[in-house]
Amino acid sequence: MPLSVLVGSLSTLWTLAGANEVVAMRSIGMTPYQLLGALFPAAIAVGLLHLVLSDQVVPRVERGFIDWWASTTPPNDEPEVPKPLWFRLGDQVVTAKVVARDGRRLEGVEVFRRTADGALVARLTAEAAIYDGKAWTLANVARTELEPTLVTTRAETQPWDTALTPSNLRDLSAPTDRQPVSRLRGILRGTYAGTESRAFYQTRLHETYSGPFATLVMLLLAAPVAHGLRRRGGAMGNMALGVVIGLAFLLVDGLLAAMGEAGSMPPLVAAWAPTLFFAAVGGAILVHVEG
């Protein structure tokens, strides 16, 4: 979406400048900033569309495609070896050796409860966890408390008080690339399970918010094209400059986002720094061209 705004803005302003429409606008007292402001509503509309697509449409479409593909793809001749599933839910880290396709049964369950600073305080193992439509029940349970003293208790069955749901497990078993804001917030609050680190979901949340602003940055980077015919080097040079800086913005944004998701950079900085920096660059270029 940001790239489409960059290309659309460059081609539109190139056409206006080539037909001397910009000269006509300036002759009636219209400033370059007013011209840019006239294009802002379209960029804002595209930004809002970007937000709706990335937050609501894309996660649903990905989930629908994954479920459809799983239901139509014939099974392999060789039986698939189940892979253990690891995820975190609030202050707990959970692993299951086998997850049923419908998400209503887990086998080989281990639950590790930790403190806020990551210290292990309890471990629970169960042969199976079964969801009856209302709540989870653990079978053949062994619970070990590490504090204040080491104590182990056993039970044939035990209720499992957890916010985990079968749909959550299906999402964990076959995850989508994008998650809506509500799900990201749920993972960070501990009401929804996730397989990645906290920094990963914090970065994704900030990326969802900062993404629509990238369209405004692209419009700002394209603005000097409208004034290139009056300057040395012409509009072609300004167009090439806008393309190069726009692509550099997308590259830097992707690199910093990856660093934020890996925990190498604060999520807030990773998501918002490229937008703010390249907005400043675009504004500086526009002021220089007009000055």
**15-56: pLDDT as tens digits:** 887 777 877 887 887 777 788 888 889 889 999 999 999 999
Show the beta-strand stretches assigned E in the chain.
85-89, 92-99, 105-114, 120-131, 136-145, 151-160
Least confidently predicted of 36-40, 219-223, 236-240: 236-240
Contact assessment for residue 121 and residue 151, using Cβ atoms and an 8 Å cutoff = no
Report how far residue 222's alpha carbon sits from residue 229's, in angstroms, rounded to the nearest whole number. Answer: 14
Long-range contacts, stretch 61-69, CB < 8 angstroms, 24+ apart: 62/176, 62/177, 62/178, 63/171, 63/176, 66/174, 66/176, 67/174
pLDDT at 124 over 60: yes
Please compute Rg for the chain using Cα positions. 26
Report how far apart, in Å, the C-alpha atoms of 63 and of each of 175, 188, 269 are: 8, 21, 30
Give residue 161's Cα distance to chain centre: 29
Tokens of 42: 């379209």
**Cβ burial 192-216 (10 Å sphere, 16+ → b, else e):** bbbebeebbbbbbbbbbebbbbbbb
Q: Where along the chain do its domains lie?
A: 2-60+199-290, 85-177
What is the percent of the chain with per-residue pLDDT over 90, rounded to a whole number? Answer: 46
169-197 per-position pLDDT tens digit = 988 988 888 899 999 999 999 899 999 99
259-285 per-position pLDDT tens digit = 999 999 999 999 999 999 999 998 888
